Amino acid sequence: MEINLFKFRSEDWDRFEVDLMNFEPVCYHQNLQWSKKYKKELFTSLDVIIFLAEVNHRVVGEAHCSKLDFRDFCDVEDFPGIKELLPRYESNETCYQNAFGVLPGYRGMGIGRLLKEATIHEAKKQGFRFLLGHAREGAAIGINKKFGARIIRPYEDFGGTGTTHYLYEIDLKKVK
């Protein structure tokens, strides 16, 4: 199976819109799904790092991260306790993994790992020091730990999903 991993550019939105919106109901809990309007806004904004994985001209994996915006981040109730952690991240040096998913029929083949690796290297290249994200137990945490993720704290019933998500940090300086 040939996997085509590539960096998404904002002008690609129209071409990939259908594939990209397909991830929402298939990969993410309904409380964490993005509307088309919001996803388009994020995917076509500046300063985003997006990698897609294609198999047979179909997008089967996505990874999206962007500079952490503390004004947004601190206001949302999903992140109690985050304010105490701010001194460590309060700079332009931290990015946040907004989305990370592989379609069910394509999991366990290393696509998630490739996407994460590409994201990390690009974030490092752009001068970020930390990559933060929330991940569930299982493959999502497993992959991040392979890249040296440190768990900061659990968030029970994250975003009303009924599952615990763990806030993690990857220190990009330590990634080879």
Ligand X SMILES: CC(C)(COP(=O)(O)OP(=O)(O)OC[C@H]1O[C@@H](n2cnc3c(N)ncnc32)[C@H](O)[C@@H]1OP(=O)(O)O)[C@@H](O)C(=O)NCCC(=O)NCCS
Q: Please state the closest distance from residue 25 (CB atom) to ligand X, in A.
A: 12
CB 70 within 8 A of CB 79: no
d(CA 80, CA 152): 12
Radius of gyration for the chain, computed over Cα atoms and rounded to the nearest angstrom: 15
Residue closer to ligand X by CB (options 90, 157) is: 157
3-state secondary structure of 3: coil
CB 140 within 8 A of CB 104: no
* Cα-based distances in Å from 87 to 16, 83, 94: 38, 8, 11
Q: Please state the closest distance from residue 87 (CB atom) to ligand X, in A.
A: 26
Binding mask 25-64 for ligand X (x = CB under 6 A): --x-------------------------------------
3-state secondary structure of 95: strand
Interface with ligand X in residues 143-172 (CB under 6 A): 143
109 binds ligand X (CB under 6 A): yes
Which residue from 25, 108, 160, 162 is in contact with ligand X, where contact means CB under 6 A? 108
5 binds ligand X (CB under 6 A): no
Q: Which residues bind ligand X (CB under 6 A)?
A: 27, 100-102, 107-113, 135-136, 138-140, 142-143
